[in-house]
Amino acid sequence: ETGVTQTPRHLVMGMTNKKSLKCEQHLGHNAMYWYKQSAKKPLELMFVYSLEERVENNSVPSRFSPECPNSSHLFLHLHTLQPEDSALYLCASSRQPGFSYNEQFFGPGTRLTVL
């Protein structure tokens, strides 16, 4: 148990559906992150939020829309996804945004399948 929870753990959706992934951290951290992990690839950083403001968007398509209503919660809204978006989506949090000595704590991930 890392103190970062994600729901749902598994999601199957059609290309025309709209769904949301939820992440919650109970660690009192100030930064939250969304990563995508596809098979045999490194973790790809998608978005970074620091003190509830988005500080990084790594050229992610607009069909992925993040939301950070407060420092404990992070959402990823999904619509009109493609089958190649099927992957494990991981949320992480850390204590010190803007510093390089920075362990990130990960949630268990949401396994997303787009049909």
Partner 1 sequence: DQQVKQNSPSLSVQEGRISILNCDYTNSMFDYFLWYKKYPAEGPTFLISISSIKDKNEDGRFTVFLNKSAKHLSLHIVPSQPGDSAVYFCAASGRDNQGGKLIFGQGTELSVKP
Please spell the DSSP secondary structure of 11-65, one letter per residue. Answer: EEE-TT-EEEEEEEE-S--SEEEEEEE-TTS--EEEEEEETTEEEEE-S--TTEE
| 12 touches partner 1 by CB under 8 A | no
Residue choice 14, 16, 40, 59 for contact with partner 1 (CB under 8 A): 40
| 92 touches partner 1 by CB under 8 A | yes
CA angle 87, 93, 94 (to 5 degrees): 140
Residue choice 87, 109, 112, 114 for contact with partner 1 (CB under 8 A): 109
**Interface with partner 1 (CB under 8 A):** 2, 4, 6, 31, 40-43, 45, 48, 50, 55-56, 90-92, 94, 96-109, 111
